[in-house]
Structure 1
Amino acid sequence: MSTLHGNLSGNQRRKMRSAARLYAVQALFQMEQSGQTVEAIKGEFLNFRFGATYEGAEMQDGDVDHFGQVMDAAVNYQAAIDQATDRALVAKWPIARIDPTLRALFRAAGAEFRDKTLPPKVVITEYVDVARAFFPEGKEPQFVNAVLDHMAREARPESF
């Protein structure tokens, strides 16, 4: 945790970490679509999205450290995360065929499953909430829950 966040309440830190997860999914999506480097995308998000005012609404401030950790792990371990996602998906739907937002979400969550200090069930709950933010009317949150549950049980069987 950054020293700048030392005086925040636990609830404020949780909200900032949740915001960092949402930003990470957006950033991973943008990275895939634009072909920009992880450093360029992280810089853009940190300088122009975290806490910025956009169309009259103030964007949530995010946990900068957590955002960076998720982004770096998602990029550094993308091949392994994508393979784990493929194993969790139905055979007819490899990761390359799914919605790019979901692909970014699975990569971010997969990055967090690598962190042994985070309970997998917390990671699943957080990313199901992210799915609800992107797909408020669809069945995607249930799909995300099922895929992430499979991925978590594979990555961290001792937690179940």
Structure 2
Amino acid sequence: MARPRSQGGRGRPRTAARLAAVQALYQAEQAGVSPETVLDEFVRHRVVADGPADFAEAALEEGRIPGADVPLLAAIVRGWARNAEVLDRAIAATLAEDWPMERLDPVLRAVLRAAAGELFDATGAPAKVIINEYLDIAHGFFSGDEPRFANGVLDRLARTLRAAEFAAAPASQ
């Protein structure tokens, strides 16, 4: 998995947790192991305490995640794992008919799955916050059209999984 450009780290434990969740879901899929197994590895070996300003960048380069909010990381990964079939169907429903999930870049698929895992918990952060956070992460991995594509998918997904949050909002928002 390519390393993102300056994501997570110093002073942003929730962003670091989201980045770690994307990386954990990617690793689980690529290695063919359970997300729980990868989550355990991440918590024990890759999530590290935050350090000085230059620490975060160096830690990311080494594959470590500085300062991640571990309970949020676990909730995202477990949320997706517990509801994988439902969430993958929900993601697939937002895609064009001739564009199956398997056709998505594996990193992009991990971004969408992590976001879906978080969006599925209606008691978590507001949908718009979640979308913005995962768009920032997508921009860290991709420089092409992928973040724009992710934005469209996540907006449709959030309107499905968190319909109540969007019911009162005017259509122009």
* TM-score, reference length from structure 2: 0.78
Structure 1 133/73 Cα, relative in aligned 2: closer, same or farther at 3 Å? same
Q: Which runs of 5+ in 1 are unaligned?
A: 1-11
Q: Which residue of 2 aligns with 1:24?
A: 21
State the AA in 1 paired with 2:15.
Answer: S
Report whether the alignment pairs 1:96 with 2:102.
yes
In the alignment, which of 105, 130, 133 is matched to residue 123 of structure 1? 130
Matches within 5 A, 1:1-160: 15-51=12-48, 53=59, 59-117=65-123, 118-135=125-142, 137-160=143-166
Q: Distance in 2 between matches of 1:80 and 1:143?
A: 21
Structure 1 64/121 Cα, relative in aligned 2: closer, same or farther at 3 Å? same
CA contact (8 A) 2:10 2:66 kept: no
Q: Which runs of 4+ in 1 moved over 3 A?
A: 52-59
Identity %: 42
Q: Distance in 2 between matches of 1:97 and 1:58?
A: 28
Paired residue total: 148
> How far apart are residue 91 of structure 1 and its match?
1.1
Q: Distance in 1 between matches of 2:164 and 2:60?
A: 43
State the AA in 2 paired with 1:22.
Answer: L
CA contact (8 A) 1:74 1:108 kept: yes
Greater helix share, structure number: 1
- Secondary structure of 1:36 counterpart: coil
CA contact (8 A) 1:88 1:151 kept: yes
Q: Which runs of 5+ in 2 are unaligned?
A: 1-8, 50-58, 167-173
State the AA in 2 paired with 1:50.
Answer: V
- Secondary structure of 2:43 counterpart: helix
CA RMSD of aligned residues (A): 2.2
* TM-score, reference length from structure 1: 0.84
CA contact (8 A) 2:22 2:111 kept: yes
Q: Which moved more, 1:61-70 or 1:41-50?
A: 41-50
